[in-house]
A and B are shown apart, each in its own frame.
Chain A
Amino acid sequence: MWEYTEKVKDFFLHPKNVGEIENYDAVGEVGSIVCGDALKLYLKIDKETGKIIDVKFQTFGCASAIASSSALTELIKGRTIDEALNVSNKDIAEYLGGLPREKMHCSVMGREALESAISNYRGLKPEKVEEGEIVCKCFAVTDTKIKRVIKENNLKTVEDVTNYTKAGGGCGECVPQIEKILKEILAERVIKELVMPKERLTNIKKIALIQEIIEKEIRPPLQADGGDIRLIDVEGNKVIISLRGTCTGCLMAEVTLKNIEKKLKELVSEELYVEGE
């Protein structure tokens, strides 16, 4: 059973803004019955102000797909189309108090329907299928979409990609292709970070950077294994770290500390070294 928030359950059981708008100004359609979820979004737009004055949706899909669609309509109602375009899939998920990781693709679908409706309004060609080459044949997911979602959500594993786009969740034949795309993007990411112009590393900046890297890069994989770490202090180039959770007393503790040191050397400064508390 999925762990849905009360808000997801509520939006699923009592969805808001369901239905069609007869004289709609824009319509966006994504997904298909074969994929297992589909969303049709109708907008009524005030021509002068560009404000979305009414919005309705129809969704075929699971509880979180229905809740995400309904959340999207609440988020964009009364906003201008430019403001609406700033609503990301993350905003939809956050509005609902979070979605299970495996269900993030539902929020992505909401964002896509919105884009599709607004391009439709602006007289652009409605793009039912994103351009690019189909990678996942089961769910008709293109490489363009996979790349975009990896970048937007900072995804790191094939499992993430499946959770966010469904690609790879059917027969699994395309998993090696997804791995290849991931590798390419991860490589790009590292290069981008390396060529970033180096400013003088003040103490404040150094500590902030160390903290950020620990939060974003180091803790999530450790937490996934039930472990955790905390930054205790930075004395000159000495970074003091305390191991928590299953990391405590783990035979691999030394290796973990070495890996943290390696990452900090690579991303902050060659001179850093790490010590356990």
Chain B
Amino acid sequence: MKIIYLDNNATTRVADEVIEEMLPYFGKLYGNPASMHTFGGQIHRKIEEARGRVSDLINAEPEEIIFTSCGTESDNTAIISALDSNPKKRHIVTTRVEHPAVLNFCKSMQKKGYEVKILPVDKLGRLSIDELNASVTENTAVVSIMYANNETGVIFPIKEIAEIVKSKGALFHTDAVQAVGKLLIDVKKIPIDMLSLSGHKLHAPKGVGALYIRKGTRFSPYIIGGHQEHGRRAGTENVASIIGLGKACELVKKHLHEENTRIKALRDKLEQRLLKSCPNARINGDPEHRLQNTVNISFEYVEGEAILLRLNEYNICASSGSACTSGSLEPSHVLRAMGVPFTAIHGSIRFSLSRYNTDEEIDLVLKIMPEIIKELRELSPYGREALLGAKS
């Protein structure tokens, strides 16, 4: 049976064109880009081509890009570099809805004596700009705020945020892992100092990421060793994956328009019809400022893991913020930060689309989903309340 993959914020299918571009570098073209001979040198040229393609996508300069092993490494590198290059500043600002790659890293810095201000969000997942303004001080080394949220798709006003941070003299890092590939980003127009992106969220393979570092930003490497990446990130390059990331970025430019039209239309159809066909459902996140591919929807009186496993029977892949789906039994920190009631967090399901999804797939989900919700509610002691539409 065919897989209906609606979990693209978790990871994406590697594009065929990307695989094709990578294949020779698993086989005959195995040279080390650092070598002096032509055999290695040709690999070096290919990596520089990839660097150009990545920088092109966000309108950066090639020398402003370093390759890393993943989004998490990019995030960690950006924050630690900002702290190490500003040793007198002991303050970090971030938000409650960040990815653990940023949030947990900042919390670990707390143990090293840094003061960390974690900004709240409102019910729709929006930041208070006034509070940001009040929180960044002369002692702030770095502000790390995500471009778009992985769970709800909520997009932060990054330009406004970056301008405030720069006006206070702090460094600004943004985790754009979910945004790159889905939104048009232009670092020439927004004063971002550092930006993280990840390959496997944009149809490149897992195990490769990149960090944009604006020219002139003081930088201190996280991984130390050889002179790769001009000494900014040691370790022999993950050649094939870097080349794959380059190709994927080139493809994104081609498909960005589709993201805003066809994919958005599919998402909207899925969302609106689910709200109609399933009583007691609600959307989580700011509907005005959201990634076009993401919908996070709570079905009250049903538990998310149960929904996912029923969907799994039809080979439909999605994810949930329910406590029961996380290894720690902890309900989604993002939805909790937004003050979504526990009853709605338990039944939250995220569908995230990509350019590979079709109208037929969405139709199938629309057919199956109301049945699953109905069946699970009938199993539940709250089934009657759900039908009556009473709120607990």
Contacts and interface: CB of A to CB of B under 8 A. Distances in A.
Given A33-B343, A36-B303, A59 B327 contact: no
Contacts of A169: 323, 328-330
Contact of B306 (A58, A62, A103, A172): A62
Interface in A20-39: 29, 33-39
A36 B331 contact: yes
A162 B324 contact: no
A65 B303 contact: yes
B309 interface: yes
Interface stretch (B200-208, B241-249, B271-279, B374-382): B374-382
Contact of A63 (B305, B342, B381, B383): B305
A102 B324 CA distance: 9
A65 B303 CA distance: 10
B302 interface: yes
A61 B303 contact: yes
Given A15-B379, A33-B382, A36-B331, A60 B323 contact: no
Contacts of A162: 328-329
B329 A38 contact: no
Given A36-B342, A102-B327, A170-B330, A58 B379 contact: yes
Nearest to A31: B381
Contacts, number: 86
B86 to A, nearest CB: 31
Given A62-B305, A63-B305, A39 B329 contact: no
A58 B380 contact: yes
B323 A36 contact: yes
- Most chain B Cβ neighbours within 10 Å, of A34, A35, A36, A172: A36
Contacts of B327: 102
Contacts of B330: 169-170, 172
Contacts of B302: 60
A15 B304 CA distance: 18
Contacts of A121: none
A93 interface: no
Contacts of B351: none
Contacts of A34: 341-343, 392
Contacts of B342: 33-36, 138
Interface string B300-338: 011111100110010000000011110111110000000
Contact of B301 (A13, A40, A60, A170): A60
B346 interface: yes
Given A61-B324, A102-B327, 15 more contacts: A18-B379, A34-B392, A36-B322, A37-B324, A60-B379, A60-B382, A62-B306, A62-B325, A63-B306, A64-B324, A65-B324, A66-B379, A138-B342, A166-B329, A169-B328
13 contacts: A13-B309, A33-B343, A36-B323, A36-B346, A38-B381, A40-B381, A58-B383, A60-B379, A62-B303, A166-B329, A169-B323, A170-B331, A172-B330
Interface of B: 301-306, 309-310, 313, 322-325, 327-331, 341-343, 346, 378-383, 392
Query: Which 8 pairs across A and B sit closest by C-beta, in order of nearness?
Result: A62-B324, A169-B329, A62-B305, A60-B380, A40-B381, A58-B381, A36-B346, A63-B309
